[in-house]
Amino acid sequence: MGPFVITEIISENTNFLLAFVIGIGFGFVLESSGFSSSRKLAGMFYGYDTTVLKVFFTAAITAMLGLLFFSLFGWIDLSLIYINPTFLWSTIIGGVIMGAGFIIGGFCPGTAFCALSIGKIDALAFVGGLFIGIFAFTEGYPLIEELYKAEYLGIPTINESLGLSRGVFALILIVVAVAMFWIGEWAEKKFPREEY
């Protein structure tokens, strides 16, 4: 719960309890949305099911608008929010590896654990591969550290890179999301999944 612990509004133990409850809630939402099904997740790439696009775009927009309004009301200082630094080559290579794994396995790390929690064997194989990948990266890090840290770009945000205010960027993103939802609906009709 971030700043609540630092400012001692809640204790460390309460923080762990809240994280546990939020994690269970997140897993429940994933499962309720059908994200424990690798077919549903892979459907995004094949065009027959765009639920993933709709759920995650909606979540991102909700979080974005929440932060913007919290900032507007003075409830949060956006400059204090941590943003991961950008290293261009590790971002591109990691994105390709993650994307390939997503397409091949039908899961991302979060949805794999969601599927594993309801006993899906394919998710067990995916989670096993995840741990092997983590181990290989950790042990091999000294060999790839230079590549990992190459092309440091700082902490760019899209709106600053485009020279837009946060509000204008939020409006554009909402319009893009609505367009993507419409394209998703069109794709689902154009490429329906054949039932066997």
Chain segment 8-44, per-residue pLDDT in tens: 777 888 888 988 998 888 888 888 888 888 888 878 8
Q: Do 98 and 108 touch, CB atoms closer than 8 A?
A: yes
pLDDT at 2 (0 to 100): 57
- Rounded to whole angstroms, how far apart are CA atoms 181 and 30? 19
Cα angle for residues 69, 67, 22 (degrees, 5° grid): 125
Q: What is the pLDDT of residues 135-185, one digit of tens each?
A: 999 999 999 999 999 999 999 889 999 999 999 999 999 999 999 999 988
Q: What is the pLDDT of residues 80-118, one digit of tens each?
A: 888 889 999 999 999 998 888 888 888 888 888 888 888
Q: What is the pLDDT of residues 125-134, one digit of tens each?
A: 889 988 999 9
7: tokens are: 């400012």
Q: Is the pLDDT of residue 56 over 60?
A: yes
Q: Could you say which DSSP state residue 119 is in?
A: T
114: closest CA among 45, 54, 26? 26
| 170: Cβ contacts below 8 Å, ≥ 6 apart | 61, 64, 65, 68
pLDDT at 64 (0 to 100): 93
Listed in sequence order, the DSSP H helices in the chain are: 3-6, 12-32, 38-46, 51-72, 88-105, 109-117, 121-148, 158-162, 166-190
Q: Is the pLDDT of residue 3 over 80?
A: no
pLDDT at 82 (0 to 100): 84
Residue matched to tokens 């039932």: 195
Residue matched to tokens 């991302």: 108
- Strands 86-87 and 152-154 come out as antiparallel
pLDDT at 196 (0 to 100): 41
- Rounded to whole angstroms, how far apart are CA atoms 108 and 127? 9
Please indicate whether residue 60 or residue 105 has the higher confidence score (pLDDT): 60
